[in-house]
């Protein structure tokens, strides 16, 4: 029966899965409260579960569409990078993994860079997508982050970066590690040009990404309940051999420990970043923002973020990287 389980079943499964997608998965289960939500309601609510407030993963395109004025933006071309210089192979060849991820997601790699307007003012925005090999940081993603920072510097705009990552892309070995200093150079140059760099932590952000550009923003915002860490919970548990405290390494915990400035509900990100970038660049006030009451921008989510069992949801899939 083994070969049937191993060979045939995955094929059938993937076949069924494709069918599922095209037939539309009408109901989505909230990973926190377990309630079933109609997917159109979720979509309309920027993938925040209406009752529990749980922030689900949102596709890059959806995020950008709800962030920019009128949902319109331009995609910035990214530099070509060498493919698989290590000729890496684990259980699978890296080039095959890359090809599969590209087919599955329609993206070239984990980071895309865009420009558009936010409350009428030009802004450069990067998004790191966890769906592409766990948002792992390889040469392509590193170069994309650099392109984003350099585009902002050249266009004299603020740079907003939504981060999500399982860490370094191990299949690129040391060249993945080198993205930490490389991106840091670009962060420094944007800073020296006097332009703001706003980082938005989304679930999850770990490893080498947290330990480089993500922690070097002028302002750090975080979506509620996001896992943000250097070493992942599992690595720590294995090292110290004890259970971790509830809420450990979540956005609210990092806020308490002084690592992020605000925990912001996804619905309030646009206005918060609009105000921040406007104030820091001394732009004319935007009327919509000036007339807005100081919303609960620091929306600390009351719900226990460390609901038991949600650890699996935020852990990188096996092909995703992880750094120490």
Partner 1 sequence: MQSYLDFEKPVADLEGKIAELKSLASTDQAVSIEEEVNRLSARAEEALADIYKKLTPWQKTQVARHPQRPHFSDYVKSLITEWVPLAGDRKFGEDAALLAGFGRFEGQSVAILGQEKGSNTEERLRHNFGMARPEGYRKAVRLMDMADRFNIPVVAFVDTAGAYPGIGAEERGQAEAIARSTEKCLELGVPNLAIIIGEGGSGGAIAIATANRVLMMENAIYSVISPEAGASILWRDAAKAQDAANNMKITASDLLGFGVIDGIISEPVGGAHRHHDQVMDATRRAIGKFLSDYSGKSRLELREQRREKFLSIGTNLA
CB of 173 to partner 1, least distance (A): 5
Burial 173-204 (b: 16+ CB within 10 A, else e): eebbbebbebbeebbeebbeeebbbbbbbbbb
Q: Pick one of 46, 60, 101, 176: the residue that binds partner 1 (CB under 8 A).
A: 176
CB of 13 to partner 1, least distance (A): 19
Distances (CA, A) of 131 to 77, 110, 163, 194: 20, 8, 12, 33
Please report whether residue 283 would count as binding partner 1 according to CB under 8 A.
no
Q: Pick one of 34, 258, 293, 309: the residue that binds partner 1 (CB under 8 A).
A: 258
CA distance 115 to 158: 10
**Checking phi first, is residue 167 left (phi over 0); if not, alpha (psi -120 to 50) or beta?**
left
Please report whether residue 304 would count as binding partner 1 according to CB under 8 A.
no
Nearer to partner 1, 79 or 285 (CB): 79
Distances (CA, A) of 158 to 259, 276, 282, 318, 322: 21, 10, 12, 35, 29
* Binding span for partner 1 by CB under 8 A among 120-128, 227-235, 269-277, 290-298: 227-235
CB of 269 to partner 1, least distance (A): 22
Nearest to 203 by CA among 272, 249, 169, 159: 249
Nearest to 214 by CA among 161, 159, 290, 158: 161
Interaction pattern, residues 188-207, with partner 1; x per rule: CB under 8 A: xx-----------------x
CB of 257 to partner 1, least distance (A): 6
Handedness of CA 140, 145, 148, 152 (dihedral sign): negative
Show contacts with partner 1 in window 61-90 (CB under 8 A). 81-82, 85-86, 88-90
CB of 231 to partner 1, least distance (A): 3
Please report whether residue 257 would count as binding partner 1 according to CB under 8 A.
yes
Q: Which two tokens stand for residue 50?
A: 């209406």
Cis peptide before 204 (omega within 30 of 0): yes
Residue count at the site for partner 1 (CB under 8 A)?
57
Element (H, E) at 276: helix 266-280
Interaction pattern, residues 132-161, with partner 1; x per rule: CB under 8 A: -------x------x---------------
CB of 102 to partner 1, least distance (A): 20
Please report whether residue 240 would count as binding partner 1 according to CB under 8 A.
yes
**Interface residue list for partner 1 (CB under 8 A):** 81-82, 85-86, 88-91, 139, 146, 168, 170-178, 180-182, 184-189, 207-208, 210-216, 229-231, 235-236, 239-240, 244-245, 248-249, 257-259, 318, 321-324
């Amino acid at each position: 029966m083994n070969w049937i389980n191993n060979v045939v079943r995955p094929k059938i499964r993937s076949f069924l899965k494709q069918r599922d997608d095209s037939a539309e998965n009408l109901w989505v289960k909230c990973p926190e409260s377990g309630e079933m939500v109609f997917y159109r309601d979720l979509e309309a609510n920027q993938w925040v579960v209406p009752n529990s407030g749980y922030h689900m993963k949102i596709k890059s395109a959806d995020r950008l569409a709800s962030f920019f004025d009128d949902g319109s933006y331009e995609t910035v071309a990214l530099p070509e990078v060498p493919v698989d210089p290590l000729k890496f192979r684990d259980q699978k060849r890296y080039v095959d993994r890359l090809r599969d991820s590209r087919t599955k997601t329609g993206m070239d790699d984990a980071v895309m860079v865009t420009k558009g307007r936010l409350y009428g003012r030009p802004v450069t925005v990067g998004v790191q997508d966890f769906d592409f090999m766990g948002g792992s940081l390889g040469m392509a993603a590193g170069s994309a982050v650099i392109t984003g920072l350099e585009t902002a510097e050249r266009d004299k705009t603020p740079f907003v970066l939504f981060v999500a990552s399982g860490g370094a892309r191990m299949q690129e070995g040391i060249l993945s590690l080198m993205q930490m200093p490389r991106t840091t150079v670009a962060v420094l140059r944007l800073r020296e040009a006097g332009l703001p760099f706003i980082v938005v932590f989304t679930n999850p952000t770990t490893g080498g990404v947290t330990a480089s550009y993500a922690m070097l923003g002028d302002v750090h915002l975080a979506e509620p309940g996001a896992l943000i860490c250097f070493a992942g919970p599992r690595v720590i548990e294995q090292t110290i051999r004890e259970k971790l405290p509830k809420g450990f390494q979540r956005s609210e915990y990092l806020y308490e420990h002084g690592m992020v400035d605000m925990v912001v509900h996804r619905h309030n990100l646009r206005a918060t970043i609009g105000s921040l970038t406007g104030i820091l660049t001394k732009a004319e006030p935007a009327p919509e923002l000036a007339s807005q009451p100081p919303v609960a921008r620091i929306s600390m989510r009351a719900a226990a973020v460390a609901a038991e069992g949600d650890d699996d949801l935020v852990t990188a899939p096996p092909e995703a990287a992880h750094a120490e």
